[in-house]
Structure 1
Amino acid sequence: MPADNSQLIVTAARRRSTATRRRAVAALRRMDAAGTAITFETVAREAGVSRSWLYNQPDLRAEIERLRARHRVPATRPVPERQRASDASLLRRLEAATKRNLQLDAENRELREALAIALGERRTADLPERHRDTPTKKSSSVIGPC
């Protein structure tokens, strides 16, 4: 009759279960101390356990849910009615922004034109005298109509 090794198997399983639990608890503590987002996925990854195992551990599941709720950023509260911008004020702000955009467009156009002229003058100044497009001397005689 073969030897009964079931006790050894049970002991090994308990040891693995205890080690897994320790890893999960340690991961939770580290993540909480570091301010890391705590979810079943992140805890499972950090501890090297499965999510389903975490879901099946009532105490760990409750702790993950508690920490997840504590680290969750609260939703912004709605602005009270008396502090909300009225339609008229929003319209005035839109009109002012539109007017400013038109001013900036005009200024950009002027600056582009000034830049084009300056670059053209610089290009002309950099060219040797014989390669310039525009004559520097006036012609001596003007030819009239025939």
Structure 2
Amino acid sequence: MPADNSHLIVAAARRRSTATRRRAVSALRRMDATGTTITFETVAREAGVSRSWLYNQPDLRAEIERLRARHRVPATRQVPDRQRASDTSLLRRLEAATKRNQQLETENRELREALALALGERRTADLPHRHRDTPRNKSSAVIGPC
């Protein structure tokens, strides 16, 4: 009767499975760290495993889906090179915006001052005529500190 070597076959299969899982996890971590696009295809290629094996590993499948969703960038239309603004153009636009901002700040300051003067004049106009202090009509008595 031949010797029962099945335990050796089982042990070899376990080693192979452990090594495969280690390669997949290592590839996944490396790809995540470098910002490589993570899909089942790219992980399978990087780890040297099959996509179907990855799909059948619930924890790895969940991690790939999580990282794929995190790294997913919304599709944006690429702007053709001839339509992109040059650095010089962007600098000029920034300078123009800065100049306009300074003009608006000056205008706001002048408007605040004009408003303060107008409100002061209105307040003075609303005072009874006999109590108004003007250069021509100074109050006669000044009361000092008590």
User: Structure 1 length normalisation: TM-score?
Assistant: 0.51
Q: Is 1:70 the counterpart of 2:70 in the alignment?
A: yes
Gaps of 5+ in 1: 77-146
Paired residues, number: 76
- CA deviation string 1:26-85 (max 9, x = no partner): 000000000000000000000000000000000000000000000001357xxxxxxxxx
Instruction: Find the aligned partners of 1:21 and 1:27 in 2 and give their Cα distance.
Output: 10
Q: How does 1:79-98 map to 2 (within 5 A)?
A: none
- 1:18 maps to 18
The aligned counterpart of 2:55 is 55
Runs ≥4 in structure 1, deviation > 4 angstroms? none
Deviation track 1:117-136 (CA, whole Å, cap 9, x = no partner) reads xxxxxxxxxxxxxxxxxxxx
Matched residue type, 1:60 = L
The equivalent residue for 1:34 is 34
Q: Kindly report the root-mean-square deviation, in angstroms, between the aligned alpha carbons of the 2 structures.
A: 1.0
Whole-angstrom CA distance in 2 between matches of 1:70 and 1:47: 20
Distance, in Å, in 1 between the alignment partners of 2:58 and 2:20 is: 15
Q: Secondary structure at the match of 1:4?
A: coil
Q: Match of 2:4?
A: 4
Counting aligned pairs with the same residue, the percent is 93
Unaligned runs of 5+ in 2: 77-146
Partner-residue secondary structure (3-state), 1:73: coil
How far apart, in 2, do the equivalents of 1:75 and 1:20 lie?
34
SS of the residue corresponding to residue 2 of structure 2 reads coil
